[in-house]
Chain A
Amino acid sequence: AQKITQTQPGMFVQEKEAVTLDCTYDTSDPSYGLFWYKQPSSGEMIFLIYQGSYDQQNATEGRYSLNFQKARKSANLVISASQLGDSAMYFCAMREGLLDSSASKIIFGSGTRLSIRP
């Protein structure tokens, strides 16, 4: 079974509009973390935002916010006022077992290619 599901393979958005990238996850671990990464065409993975399973509030980082709905197991990324430089692949990822003594692996979704139109 897929642990991380991103159902939008590609999206086109007009510049300055807000955009929501969907992500649902599956875990039975009560302790987990959710991440969003951006991968431009150059290939590097850029960390955007993090949400912990015990966090009471939705995470925000500048223009990025994470709409965390725990009961629905969704962690959608919202980008406000999109810019041309936001065009990239976006990956949702999850790390389970945060209480484990060792750093546990991150599992990635299939990604969403976001294209911003001028």
Chain B
Amino acid sequence: KNQVEQSPQSLIILEGKNCTLQCNYTVSPFSNLRWYKQDTGRGPVSLTIMTFSENTKSNGRYTATLDADTKQSSLHITASQLSDSASYICVVSAIPGGFKTIFGAGTRLFVKA
């Protein structure tokens, strides 16, 4: 069964600290993995997208890694800011079609001053 599991479910960190969010998937055959940031009541915003051959991708203070062998991905946030408080969603697409898109339940991150 195609599944995407994220951990932790929620996380509280102090402003300026780093954190790492995890995503494990069983989606097969794999097409791509995306990380989105979603503020409450708003649409998800794409942070990174990685295909099978890409094992790391950075976007400012966000760095995503992908291990296609173990089917794991992580999103590392450096020097967190209050504005990083949001849900972070891992999304995996399967071949063929691409519209076989499986969403993780998300990690809710709270950054406190």
B is a partner of A? no
Interface residues of B (CB under 8 A from A): none
Interface residues of A (CB under 8 A from B): none
